Structure 1
Amino acid sequence: MVNMQVIHDLQSLINCFNAWVTEMRKWQAWLPILDDYDTDERWDLRIEFVDPIAHRCMLEPSAMRDRFSSALYFLLHHANLSTETGYRDELEADRSEIAALKNGKSKPRYLLRSRLNEEITKLSFRGGWRTADSVIEKLQLLDDETLRMETLNYRNAASHSIAPRFEMGVIPFVKRQYKPADSYAFRGDGASAEPVGQNGFVLSYAYGDHDPLQHAPTFRLMRTQLKITRDTLCAYEALLLEVFERINAKNGAADGAN
């Protein structure tokens, strides 16, 4: 049963990667075509054909990172369970699930990405999986802070708010957040601050606008993320081979002892 899940996860990762490659090829094919049309016609083509393709591609770095993390979490746990004497079938995620059940909720409770990263690292270290480090390192490059900045946090905005636009108009924003009072200065360039209580923080508002995303440079960013995903997939396959090799060696030693 576990082997079936591991195989299914690998197949699904490959299928998702190939589906993303297909969408990227469509996006790439449209880029030179758009340049042949004036503003109004280009607008129509983008809205009807190109922007939806770009949107799907923009969601994939985060999605692929979460898919890899989920598969890696399951793999490392069951790899340790299969090779380490005394290892218990318990995960940090179990606690969240049990807590949800106690509160009458049947919906699965997923670990936050940062907590999941910590748990994956712990499982890798405990099992001494030498090839897992490469997978973990590459995962950190998927949907990283640099990408979020350069794409105006497109994925999060599209999923939880309003996504940035492509090519036309401006993107206004108002950002409300607390800042340490000793590190914040009043400015005249679109930022204001208001003291709140005596806790050493101020409530600040920043406002302005961003230029819209451009298709060609955004495509190049996504192409880099696609390459990182391919490299992560190769590293994940290397980890699978290490896991299978150790399990087979343990099973062979047990058979020899009998």
Structure 2
Amino acid sequence: MDGDQLAFLRKGLEAYLRHYDDGNMDPVESYLPYDFRDEVERYQWRLMAGEMVSGELNEVTNNLNGWQSALLQWHAWNRALDGFGEQEAWELRKEFVEACAHQCLLQPSSARDTLVFIATNAFHQLRLSLGNGYRDHLEGDPTTPGERPQHLSRRKKEKRLERLVAPWPEAASWFDLLRQIDNDGYRKSTFDYRNRAAHAIAPRLAIGHVGFITRRVVQATRLQMQPDGSYRDMPIPGKMVVSYGFGGTPPLDMEAARMANLEQYRRARACFEHYRRLLSGAMAELPLRQPKAG
């Protein structure tokens, strides 16, 4: 790296740090606390279930706090890049910002699935610890030797969890919050970035279109004369054809994408905090752990 390039990158970092340090970046919320271990360990769980529940709460807290840090960086960089020309901003974005924005854009889908995962584990173990004839089996578990576990869709996993928490009617409001994470509106506003990044070609960030040529399978049509002598394309029942055409997905606007992602972070955080309250109420039904003798 030559001296001019190094000086340019240093200038960008200095602008970023000025904004990062001014105390006016989102999210403004404090980081989530790690204050759940003592509460979980107050109760008598079956086998090592308490350690499982506490450990998974810890990991979700790590993930949400990491997302918050990445959002703070993204916001500061967006502010900093306003002071650079298009070419310079593109170079700085490529060097410092794209990885951070990419991380944030994947988080809503990840957070929703992870919350379902930890809630399924916790309430399954809670019901086992409460007894009452509840079996240690989850939908998707293999039932015969040599059978592989079933990989359930998101919809099936959430339905499974709804059945698990059915004894706690207050869980319904938690599901309302869960379904606001990675919802249709967010996916539309980010051009389905997460799914395209995982399975196809993601939209670019700030500059450049992708997917100019599109391929679709559509219903076949034929020109048919109308009573007035004109012609119209009319569908051919039961026949499909492949259609190629021009399309294209525009780049994500970095500030609009950040704002949409920030809203998703706040929904995920509210959902996690609600989950902790739900779990606390359910754990209160467990017997307290007896102190060790001696």
TM bucket by the smaller chain?
0.7 to 0.9
Matched to 2:258, the amino acid is F
* SS of the residue 1:171 aligns to: coil
Matched to 2:66, the amino acid is A
**Number of aligned pairs?**
232
| 2:108 is aligned with 1:70 | no
CA RMSD of aligned residues (A): 2.8
Q: How far apart are residue 134 of structure 1 and its match?
A: 2.5
Q: How far apart are residue 207 of structure 1 and its match?
A: 4.2
Matched to 1:135, the amino acid is W
| Paired residues of 1:193 and 1:203 also in contact (CA < 8 A) | no
Cα distance in structure 2, aligned partners of 1:236 and 1:56? 24
- Give the structure with the larger helix fraction: 1
State the identity as a percent.
Answer: 30
- The structure-2 alpha-carbon separation of the partners of 1:201 and 1:135, relative to structure 1 and needing over 3 Å to count, comes to farther
* SS of the residue 1:58 aligns to: helix
Cα distance in structure 1, aligned partners of 2:137 and 2:203? 42
Cα distance in structure 1, aligned partners of 2:75 and 2:234? 44
- The structure-2 alpha-carbon separation of the partners of 1:116 and 1:178, relative to structure 1 and needing over 3 Å to count, comes to farther
Partner of 1:25: 72
Instruction: Give unmatched runs, 5+ long, in structure 2.
Output: 1-47, 224-232
Which runs of structure 1 show a deviation greater than 3 angstroms over 4 or more consecutive aligned residues? Answer: 192-195, 203-207
Query: Which residue of the other structure, out of 111, 134, 147, is the alignment partner of 1:87?
Result: 134
| Paired residues of 1:166 and 1:213 also in contact (CA < 8 A) | yes
Matched to 2:283, the amino acid is F
| Paired residues of 2:201 and 2:210 also in contact (CA < 8 A) | no
Question: Counterparts of 1:209-224 in structure 2 under 5 Å?
Answer: 209-224=248-263
Cα distance in structure 2, aligned partners of 1:117 and 1:83? 22
| Paired residues of 1:194 and 1:204 also in contact (CA < 8 A) | no
Partner of 1:16: 63
Q: How far apart are residue 43 of structure 1 and its match?
A: 0.8
Question: Counterparts of 1:141-160 in structure 2 under 5 Å?
Answer: 141-160=180-199
Partner of 1:58: 105
Query: Which residue of the other structure, out of 137, 158, 162, is the alignment partner of 1:121?
Result: 162
Matched to 2:154, the amino acid is R
Q: How far apart are residue 102 of structure 1 and its match?
A: 2.1
| Paired residues of 1:193 and 1:202 also in contact (CA < 8 A) | no
Please give the TM-score of this superposition, normalised by the length of structure 2. Answer: 0.71
Q: How far apart are residue 158 of structure 1 and its match?
A: 0.9
- The structure-2 alpha-carbon separation of the partners of 1:87 and 1:201, relative to structure 1 and needing over 3 Å to count, comes to farther
Partner of 2:270: 231
- The structure-2 alpha-carbon separation of the partners of 1:201 and 1:224, relative to structure 1 and needing over 3 Å to count, comes to farther
Question: Counterparts of 1:199-218 in structure 2 under 5 Å?
Answer: 200=238, 202-203=240-241, 205=243, 207-218=246-257
Instruction: Give unmatched runs, 5+ long, in structure 1.
Output: 187-191, 253-258
